[in-house]
Amino acid sequence: MNNDIERVLFSQEDIQEACRRLGAQISRDYEGKKPVVVGVLKGAILFMVDLIKEMDIMTEVDFLDVSSYHGGVASTGSITLNREIETDISGRHVIIVEDIIDTGLTLQYMLNYLNAHHVASAKVCTLLDKPEGRKVTAKADYVGFNVPNEFVVGYGLDYQEFYRNLPYVGVLKPDVYSE
Ligand SMILES: O=P(O)(O)OC[C@H]1O[C@H](OP(=O)(O)OP(=O)(O)O)[C@H](O)[C@@H]1O
Ligand code: HPA
Ligand SMILES: [Mg+2]
């Protein structure tokens, strides 16, 4: 698995440090507010687990499952909703946790979803932001790292459902997906 990685972008330590920084920032911003933290399956699983441990506030946790890459290296452009949020989020402060914002299509879909559910506020925390990938305007409120316009895997991010369990984020060798 590690042999398929061209180069490591962010080590386990880099990611841990980003989780501490973002967790502290969110804790300050949401002091006394009891937000609902919503992880976007499946990509956000590892980041969600590490991030919430760094949040020193009362918070609920839930998940939303949307997908559009279906294992490939490019967005299909159509978002499938596989699982809804179970918590009643109307009137609540919601923080979406994402692994990456690339084209922005998933984030745009999720913000529409939250608006339709009449949340009090919606903010987005993403581990990775790929600004050059954007097809629609989309902006995260909390960002771990910017990444170049290359396909990255690891720490939740997959190629054909694999590599999610790598403890770091790296660039996948192009010959792995062009074979
Ligand atoms: O900004 P975008 O271009 O929309 O890309 C970002 C989204 O794509 C990935 O999900 P994916 O559809 O691969 O599902 P997964 O999380 O189950 O892998 C990733 O986890 C984000 O949710
Ligand atoms: O670069 C990426 N890697 C893995 N999954 C993704 N989903 C959007 N962009 C990416
Ligand atoms: Mg994926």
Q: Considering its fold, how many domains does the chain have in total?
A: 1
What is the residue range of 51's domain?
2-177
Angle of helix 45-52 relative to helix 12-29, nearest 10 degrees?
60
The atom number, within ligand 2, closest to the CA of 133 reads 9
Predicted pLDDT at 167: 98
Which two tokens mark 178? 């062009």
Are the C-beta atoms of 148 and 7 separated by less than 8 Å?
A: no
CA distances, 99 to each of 19, 22, 49, 157 (Å): 12, 13, 12, 7
Strands 80-83 and 60-67 turn out to be antiparallel
pLDDT in tens, 5-48: 999 999 999 999 999 999 999 999 999 999 999 999 999 999 99
Tell me the percentage of the chain whose pLDDT exceeds 70: 99
The atom number, within ligand 2, closest to the CA of 159 reads 4
Residue of 46, 47, 68, 155 to test ligand 1 pocket, by largest number of atoms within 8 Å of CB: 68
- Global confidence as pTM: 0.97
C-alpha 25 to ligand 1 mean position (Å)? 24
Could you tell me the CATH number of the domain that includes residue 64?
3.40.50.2020
Are the C-beta atoms of 122 and 89 separated by less than 8 Å?
A: no
Residue 146 has pLDDT above 70, yes or no: yes
- Which residues are designated catalytic? 102
Q: How far is CA 39 from the centre of its chain?
A: 7
How many residues in total does the chain contain? Answer: 179
Predicted pLDDT at 179: 65
